[in-house]
Amino acid sequence: MSEIKKYDVLIIGAGLAGLYTAANLPANLNALIVCKDVPWECNTFYAQGGIVTALDEEDVPFHIQDTINAGARHNKLKAVEVLSKESIEIREDFLKRGMPFDVDENGNLLYTKEAAHSTNRILHAGGDATGRYMHKFLMEQNYHKLQRNTLVYDLLIENGRCYGARAMVNYKPVTIQASSTVIASGGIGSLYKYNTNSRTVSADIHGICVEKGIALKDMEFMQFHPTVFVKTPFARKLLLTEALRGEGAHIVDEDGYRFLFEYDKRGELASRDIVSRAIFLYKRKTGKKVYLDFSMFDEKWFHKRFPNITKTFAKIGYNLPKDRVEISPAFHYANGGIECDLYGRIPGVKGLYVAGEAACTGVHGANRLASNSLLEGAVFAKRVATAILNDKNCLVGHPKFDKDYDTQLHEENDKAYKHKLREIMWKDVGIVRNKQGLLEAKNFIYDTKNKKIGRLLELRLNTAAAIVNAALNRKESLGSHYIEDETQNKGNE
């Protein structure tokens, strides 16, 4: 029998969404934040470029428009309105709490621009270390209990009510009962061979949701970042922030040719899906290597504006901004996720909420506008906290949940299947898709699910299946979902 702990609120995830939900819950509430590994192993910590806020009331309609244009008009308009209107209040809240965003010599906030934004409206911190600064800031402010090395492997749900979760805490199974449970477990990066994400972001909780019949939405819209250095031995590949292109860096082939203009008149400033696809198709067509070129930047300015990137690349032998860096697109962000309402409530399951990259609030539509995700995490985390305080989630009794998976989390061959899955997701469910590849991926997933595998791999496969099925169901290209053989698909039906 596993040990039992009781809390008012359980928050699964210690990234921006989890920590900012907690920051908006009073100290007298008995809340527990858990994370799988050390708290800084999360996507929030690795975010570079910045966080969007509408500059003022007048900018709100323009921010909404930019978000919807990037999202291929697949966005939920109400959610985008909430995101943009409440962004100003979120900025003021962070400033009031003392968040050190970058300012000029007169103390004015510095705003930068990224692809597909019509104006400079992105706040940053530590130059290009926005996520790290925000994470450190929220960790320092946190007054709730935070428990690391706690891997959630099941949600306790019965008759439309969530009672908490089961987790492995330092390798021991624990039942964590909670009146309210918040999923803030991030995206799905580890499903792809090439990805920019933290190793902790592996779609476990999405997979539990699939198992429990909780809807995932817009899962075909996986975002690939165009400028990633993939030649490292680690699973997490090195991102070169969008802000570099916003500030004027060029994408060139090995001859220095800026080929992007053949694909979109905005060149480097087209949205991520367009730039990623253009690089993928140009490389396939010409066999040439593609680079990010910073040689136009003043060295001193570059080192001050992008200290993190300068340092990281110096460690692997690059002298920026003089050297150009070979790039490839890589998986970056899950536009889709666990379906929820505008307060992060998960329909049909009382006491269960979702915020951050794990959620599908509908703000991103078919493709996320750069730097909107930290903002989404903050805006909707605050709303989740509001909902928890308003909803009457008090637990009366606790059903007996007999099934436990504590001894079945891993099986011998899981690692090999996991790697194969990551290869297949990259090859067949990546930037450019076709029906045959998607069907092959589906077959692999279903075959593997029938083998002797551990629970954590099964959860990954559940999420991968949701992505593949969503991709098969959307027959036409839209936003970040690109089908190469649309006409053939239609003809085959």
Ligand X SMILES: Cc1cc2nc3c(=O)[nH]c(=O)nc-3n(C[C@H](O)[C@H](O)[C@H](O)COP(=O)(O)OP(=O)(O)OC[C@H]3O[C@@H](n4cnc5c(N)ncnc54)[C@H](O)[C@@H]3O)c2cc1C
CA distance 448 to 272: 32
Start-to-end CA distance of the chain, whole Å, equals: 52
- For the four alpha carbons of 415, 418, 423 and 424, in that order, the dihedral sign comes to positive
Tokens representing 187 are 């995206």
Count of C-beta atoms within a 10 Å radius of residue 483: 21
Q: Please, which residue, 151 or 216, has the CB nearer to ligand X?
A: 151
* Vertex 13 angle, CA 11 and 15, to 5°: 120
State which residue, 131 or 437, has the beta carbon closest to ligand X.
Answer: 131
In the complex, which residues of this chain contact ligand X (CB under 6 A)? 12-18, 34-37, 41-44, 46-51, 130-131, 150-152, 184-186, 196-198, 200-201, 204-205, 239, 333, 356-358, 371-374, 377
Q: Minimal distance in Å, beta carbon 384 to ligand X?
A: 11
Among the options 121, 132, 245, 272, which is catalytic?
A: 272
Nearest-approach distance from CB 277 to ligand X, in angstroms: 20
Do 9 and 178 form a contact (C-beta atoms < 8 A)? yes
Task: For residue 214, give the DSSP letter.
Answer: P
Distances (CA, A) of 401 to 1, 2, 239, 256: 11, 11, 43, 62
Least distance from ligand X to the Cβ atom of residue 368, Å: 8
Q: Tell the smallest beta-carbon distance from residue 98 to ligand X (Å).
A: 20
Nearer to ligand X, 356 or 430 (CB): 356
Taking the CA atoms of the chain, what radius of gyration do you get in angstroms? 22
User: Minimum CB separation from ligand X for residue 222, in Å?
Assistant: 13
Shortest distance, CB of residue 483 to ligand X, whole angstroms?
25
Helix locations, 391-476, DSSP H: 414-428, 435-449, 455-473
CB of 166 to ligand X, least distance (A): 10
DSSP 248-290: T-EEEETT---GGGGT-TTGGGS-HHHHHHHHHHHHHHH---E
Half-sphere exposure of 483 (CA within 13 A, CB side): 21
Distances (CA, A) of 380 to 17, 64, 218, 341: 8, 16, 18, 10
Among residues 260 and 309, whose Cβ is nearest to ligand X? 309
Residue 196 vs 393, nearer CB to ligand X: 196
Give the nearer residue to ligand X in terms of CB position, either 35 or 279: 35
87: closest CA among 493, 373, 481, 435? 373
- Pairwise CA distance, residues 135 & 94, whole Å: 12
Q: What span, in angstroms and rounded, lies between the C-alpha atoms of 122 and 54? A: 9
With respect to ligand X, which residue has the nearer C-beta, 246 or 437?
A: 246
Identity of the residue, 179 or 223, whose beta carbon is nearer to ligand X in the bound complex: 223
Q: Report how far residue 79's alpha carbon sits from residue 376's, in angstroms, rounded to the nearest whole number.
A: 10
422 is catalytic: no
Compute the least distance from the CB of residue 434 to ligand X, in Å.
Answer: 27
* Closest residue to ligand X: CB criterion: 15
Active site residues: 272
